[in-house]
Amino acid sequence: MADYSKGRNEEELEAFYPNEILRHILITFLFISAVMLGVMFLPESFQKSTDEFASFQTRPPWFLLPFYHVSSLINNRVWHVAILVIYAMTFISIPFLDRNPERSLWKKPIFLTIVIINLLMIFVLGLTRYLQ
């Protein structure tokens, strides 16, 4: 197991208990509060699935919108599944694709550009599906 005290003096260390535990508890309560606010105020339309009720007023979770938009842009089933799988595999393989010894993304302009383009693409795909 990792020992953080190695190579550090006391001033560079703090107690896991209670400091870190307290931080985690506070953040957890904030998160649960956010969920409860969502439970109370997020609108929902819970109706039986028929053509009549399948209106575009009902939207899937926001984080699935980009993937739904991709599905509507690509008609070929095989291509659609293949593109999503390749995208996921590329995302998972990032540590093996990025062989630059520099750690910070800000110091790797090409990789930074690719990441920003991808993030923007996901955002735009989701937003345009949401606005449709």
Partner 1 sequence: MWKNIKNSTKVWFEERYQLEEVVEKNVTKKLIPKGISLFRCMGGLALIAFLIQVGTGIFLVFYYVPSASEAFNSVQYIRHALPYGWLIQKVHAVTPYFMIVPLFAHMIRILFKGLYKNPRELHWVSGATLLVLTLLICYTGTCLPANNLSYWGVSSVGGEVAMPTMVTDHIVGAYNDGGMVSNRSFVTVYALHVACIPIMMCILMGFHFLMIRRTGVSEPL
Q: Which of residues 66-125 bind partner 1 (CB under 8 A)?
A: 67-68, 71-72, 74-75, 77, 80-81, 84, 88, 91-96, 98, 101-106, 115, 119
**Tokens standing for 83?**
């593109």
Shortest distance, position 101 Cβ to partner 1, whole Å? 8
Shortest distance, position 127 Cβ to partner 1, whole Å? 15
Q: In one letter, which amino acid is 114? A: I
Shortest distance, position 131 Cβ to partner 1, whole Å? 15
Member of 22, 61, 123, 131 binding partner 1 (CB under 8 A): 61
Q: In one letter, which amino acid is 63? A: F
Contacts of 14 (CB under 8 A, 6+ apart): 20
Residues 125 and 66 sit within 8 Å (Cβ to Cβ) = yes
Q: Which of residues 31-50 bind partner 1 (CB under 8 A)?
A: 31-32, 34-35, 38-39, 42, 44-50
Rg of the chain over Cα atoms, rounded to whole angstroms, equals: 22
Task: Work out whether 13 is an interface residue with partner 1 (CB under 8 A).
Answer: yes
Task: Report the distance separating Cα 131 and Cα 68, nearest Å.
Answer: 13
